[in-house]
Chains A and B, each alone.
Chain A
Amino acid sequence: MDQFTLNLLFVGASFALYIGIAIWARAGSTSEFYAAGRGVHPVTNGMATAADWMSAASFISMAGLIAFTGYDNSSFLMGWTGGYVLLALLLAPYLRKFGKFTVSEFIGDRFYSSTARMVAVICLLVASITYVIGQMQGVGIAFGRFLEIDAFWGLLIGACVVFAYAVFGGMKGVTYTQVAQYCVLITAYTIPAVFISLQLTGNPIPALGLFGSTESGEPLLVKLNQIVTDLGFAEYTAAHGSTINMVLFTLSLMIGTAGLPHVIMRFFTVPRVSDARWSAGWTLVFIALLYLTAPAVGAMARLNISELMWPNGTSGEAVSVEQIETDPDYAWMATWQKTGLLGWEDKNGDGKIQYYNDANADLQAKAAENGWEGNELTNFNRDILVLANPEIASLPGWVIGLVAAGGLAAALSTAAGLLLAISSAVSHDLLKGQLTPNMSEKSELMAARLSMAAAIVVAVLLGLNPPGFAAQTVALAFGLAAASIFPALMMGIFSTRINNSGAVAGMLAGLAVTLLYIFLHKGWFFIPDTNTFTDADPLLGPIKSTSFGAIGAAVNFAVAYFVSGMTKETPQEIKDLVESVRIPRGAGVAVEGH
């Protein structure tokens, strides 16, 4: 059976499984849909939340970004896990005690203002749409590869599948479907990593293999550092970027994690306040399984690629064009070339492909000596690394098919979940809650579908010219959530001083400065060439647009305090509400708001 058929088989079988479970456990009504989470054990809920949370960014993109940058991209690892500490300590138990279903409902009630609720909805929409762009990129790459077509067509086909998935409610947040998706996703991520770790270090646990030794007794990371510096690239384990930027970037990702509505929502429906605390811990357990493996996947893939390009060592001859075209170990290069995400060119016509950093002075000297005319591995999109990884390591065909299914599970589940969050924000919070309260259930459903369609069209249009690799685009979404939602929630619980005007002003200020900073660097509405600055030379010292969320959050806090101090005090009944949110006793079941 050829690889193409095998991939389709794995992808098809996993989809059949999700749809089967969705039909078996289908929620009949809105309240049943919400209630589904109420009887769920914290461990099961943790697994489902982990599936909801780990998207194309975690699965497809992150290890590739770590592989090609090394230590400096550790921010993704710390940021996307450290946020759960904030969530467990500062938000989850209190929001559960409050007992409503959506983040904007909490903000509307705590700040006794429908304006605050509306502003929260807007913040949520901006962050979610940016997030969907990143997911669509991942979907495009996955479909492009497995249907062996250009990534552009992959994106269009993927968009149709995501839309169908979300509209027909195949995902509908049914917890058990997500549990199945988690299992597919984690198996698909771990199995190739175990194989590769065994090949390179003899250790079956990739996380330990990363710090293990290769066959020659040399530590893996020492060997990797040696090879990449020989080729003129930056040392893998060393810090190269600005420390301030790395701190702010990590902090933005952490705060953003704790401010993402589709993650927070899952903690509203656990049975008790104490379960909300445990649930955050279990979620992180299941996320950590992937996150402890990811840095090993990155480092090992980098080593494998470098060795494939220089099969005779970095001082020997480079791989020949003929070998790339005929040797089965290099077959993955031809398959990925079809997506337009991998490319090479024999610039000096010597029949070999030299892969090195042609911006490095030492290597330029070496190149002049040897008659090289620049790096010949001309295009290597970071986002393909995880999907190509099993092929790069020459693993069996079924592993490749499994990774295909895993990548699609990650991207589709999160994309569909986000579309549902967007559509419910528009139809439930914005239209029914504010603009047209007398809307019938039928037209609410219609509005939900239309807004879903609109969101996906916007995401596809913007996804064609993405502002970065998938994980970077998603990082921007986190910055926006960090600057707008998290501060409002935290102040709502930990301070009785913040009043309606303070919260509204804070959210608007945080969102506005962050959005402005991002657009100045990434182009207005991410349209190429409309940017004034670049991330290589940012407006404020070393602070890149992906790191600005932490500053936006600080602005949010400061403005909220200042404005609250100048305006009327919080009424007594709201102070009582805050007091009651702080103690677990008396937590009833969550109820649907208006």
Chain B
Amino acid sequence: MSQTNDSNAYWSANLRLIKISLVIWALVSFGFGIILRPLLAGITIGGTDLGFWFAQQGSIIVFLILIFFYAWQMNKLDREHGVDEE
């Protein structure tokens, strides 16, 4: 029974991490890059606005950080809940 509880805890911790990551994923691309671009128009970078930078480069850099952050957090979570492969 405790096994089931623990695997439930593991799965909900994973889902929480996925939700947080996907919020950031959407915020930088659909948010800053597209929908919220007018709000960032005041901040200039290299002759244009921050929204343009997010659409063409910034979002890609954030995506990279997100994937490595998730992998690192999940591998930690695997060990904490004793479900890792070792």
Find the A residue at minimum CB distance from B82: A585
Q: Quick check: A85 and B25 within 8 Å, CB to CB?
A: yes
| 8 A Cβ contacts from A93-146 to B | 93
Find the B residue at minimum CB distance from A582: B11
What is the bound-complex CA distance between A585 and B84, given in angstroms? 5
Q: Cβ of A247: which chain B residues have Cβ within 8 Å of it?
A: 30, 34-35
Q: Quick check: B85 and A291 within 8 Å, CB to CB?
A: no
Q: Cβ of A281: which chain B residues have Cβ within 8 Å of it?
A: 64, 67-68, 71
What is the bound-complex CA distance between A93 and B75, given in angstroms? 11
Find the B residue at minimum CB distance from A221: B47
What is the bound-complex CA distance between A272 and B57, given in angstroms? 31
Q: Quick check: A583 and B60 within 8 Å, CB to CB?
A: no
| 8 A Cβ contacts from B1-39 to A | 7, 10-11, 14, 18, 21-22, 25, 29-30, 33-35, 37
Q: Cβ of B35: which chain A residues have Cβ within 8 Å of it?
A: 243, 247
Q: Quick check: B47 and A211 within 8 Å, CB to CB?
A: yes
Q: Quick check: A78 and B33 within 8 Å, CB to CB?
A: yes
| 8 A Cβ contacts from B37-52 to A | 37, 45-49, 52
A195 within 8 A of B: no
Q: Is the interface of B mostly helix, strand, loop or mixed?
A: helix
Q: Quick check: B33 and A74 within 8 Å, CB to CB?
A: yes
Find the A residue at minimum CB distance from B37: A239
Q: Which of B46, B55, B66 contacts A221 (CB 8 A)?
A: B46
Q: Quick check: B45 and A211 within 8 Å, CB to CB?
A: yes
What is the bound-complex CA distance between A239 and B33, given in angstroms? 11
Point out which of B21, B29, B30, B35 has the most chain A C-beta atoms below 10 A from its C-beta.
B29
Q: Cβ of A280: which chain B residues have Cβ within 8 Å of it?
A: 67, 71
Q: Quick check: B59 and A78 within 8 Å, CB to CB?
A: yes
Q: Quick check: A90 and B74 within 8 Å, CB to CB?
A: no
Task: Given A85-B67, A584-B83, A587-B85, check contact A246 B18 (CB 8 Å).
Answer: no
A60-74 vs B: 1/0 string, CB under 8 Å?
Answer: 000000000001001
Find the B residue at minimum CB distance from A580: B7
B side interface size, CB within 8 A = 41
A343-376 vs B: 1/0 string, CB under 8 Å?
Answer: 0000000000000000000000000000000000
Find the A residue at minimum CB distance from B15: A494
Task: Given A277-B71, A280-B67, check contact A77 B60 (CB 8 Å).
Answer: yes
Q: Which of B25, B57, B67 contacts A207 (CB 8 A)?
A: B57
Find the B residue at minimum CB distance from A87: B67
A220 within 8 A of B: yes
Nearest-Cβ distance from residue B2 to partner chain A, whole angstroms? 15
Q: Cβ of A246: which chain B residues have Cβ within 8 Å of it?
A: 34
What is the bound-complex CA distance between A207 and B59, given in angstroms? 13
Task: Given A82-B59, A85-B66, A243-B35, check contact A274 B46 (CB 8 Å).
Answer: no
Q: How many cross-chain pairs have Cβ atoms below 8 Å apart between A and B?
A: 137
What is the bound-complex CA distance between A277 and B59, given in angstroms? 19
Nearest-Cβ distance from residue A385 to partner chain B, whole angstroms? 16
Q: Quick check: A211 and B53 within 8 Å, CB to CB?
A: yes
What is the bound-complex CA distance between A554 and B7, given in angstroms? 30
Find the B residue at minimum CB distance from A79: B29
Find the B residue at minimum CB distance from A585: B83
Q: Cβ of B14: which chain A residues have Cβ within 8 Å of it?
A: 582
Q: Cβ of A71: which chain B residues have Cβ within 8 Å of it?
A: 52, 55-56
Find the B residue at minimum CB distance from A236: B48
Q: Quick check: A88 and B84 within 8 Å, CB to CB?
A: no
What is the bound-complex CA distance between A152 and B15, given in angstroms? 51
Q: Quick check: A74 and B18 within 8 Å, CB to CB?
A: no
A side interface size, CB within 8 A = 51
A84 within 8 A of B: yes
What is the bound-complex CA distance between A579 and B4, given in angstroms? 10
Nearest-Cβ distance from residue B35 to partner chain A, whole angstroms? 6
A212 within 8 A of B: yes
A81 within 8 A of B: yes
Q: Quick check: A584 and B33 within 8 Å, CB to CB?
A: no
Q: Quick check: A81 and B75 within 8 Å, CB to CB?
A: no
Q: Quick check: B34 and A277 within 8 Å, CB to CB?
A: no
Q: Quick check: B70 and A277 within 8 Å, CB to CB?
A: yes
Q: Cβ of A221: which chain B residues have Cβ within 8 Å of it?
A: 46-48, 52
| 8 A Cβ contacts from A237-286 to B | 237, 239, 243, 246-247, 250-251, 272-274, 277-278, 280-281, 284-285
What is the bound-complex CA distance between A210 and B29, given in angstroms? 19
Q: Quick check: A273 and B46 within 8 Å, CB to CB?
A: no
Q: Quick check: A584 and B34 within 8 Å, CB to CB?
A: no
Find the B residue at minimum CB distance from A583: B83
What is the bound-complex CA distance between A457 and B68, given in angstroms? 42
Q: Quick check: A274 and B85 within 8 Å, CB to CB?
A: yes
Q: Cβ of B70: which chain A residues have Cβ within 8 Å of it?
A: 88-89, 277
Q: Quick check: A284 and B67 within 8 Å, CB to CB?
A: yes
Nearest-Cβ distance from residue B42 to partner chain A, whole angstroms? 15
Q: Cβ of A218: which chain B residues have Cβ within 8 Å of it?
A: 47
Nearest-Cβ distance from residue B59 to partner chain A, whole angstroms? 5
A222 within 8 A of B: yes
What is the bound-complex CA distance between A85 and B61, given in angstroms? 12
Q: Quick check: B63 and A77 within 8 Å, CB to CB?
A: no
Task: Given A74-B33, A247-B35, A295-B56, check contact A585 B85 (CB 8 Å).
Answer: yes
B74-86 vs A: 1/0 string, CB under 8 Å?
Answer: 1100100011110
Task: Given A243-B35, A292-B57, check contact A584 B67 (CB 8 Å).
Answer: no
Q: Quick check: A243 and B21 within 8 Å, CB to CB?
A: no
Can you spell out 20 A-B residue pairs with CB atoms less than 8 angstroms apart? A71-B56, A81-B60, A85-B22, A88-B70, A89-B18, A207-B57, A211-B53, A223-B47, A237-B48, A237-B49, A247-B34, A250-B29, A274-B75, A277-B75, A278-B71, A583-B7, A584-B78, A584-B83, A585-B82, A586-B85
Extra A-B contacts (11), CB below 8 Å, given A274-B71, A584-B78: A74-B33, A74-B52, A74-B55, A88-B67, A225-B47, A247-B34, A274-B84, A277-B75, A280-B67, A288-B61, A582-B14
Residues of A within 8 A of B (CB): 71, 74, 77-78, 81-82, 84-85, 88-90, 93, 207, 210-213, 218-223, 225, 237, 239, 243, 246-247, 250-251, 272-274, 277-278, 280-281, 284-285, 288, 291-292, 295, 579, 582-587
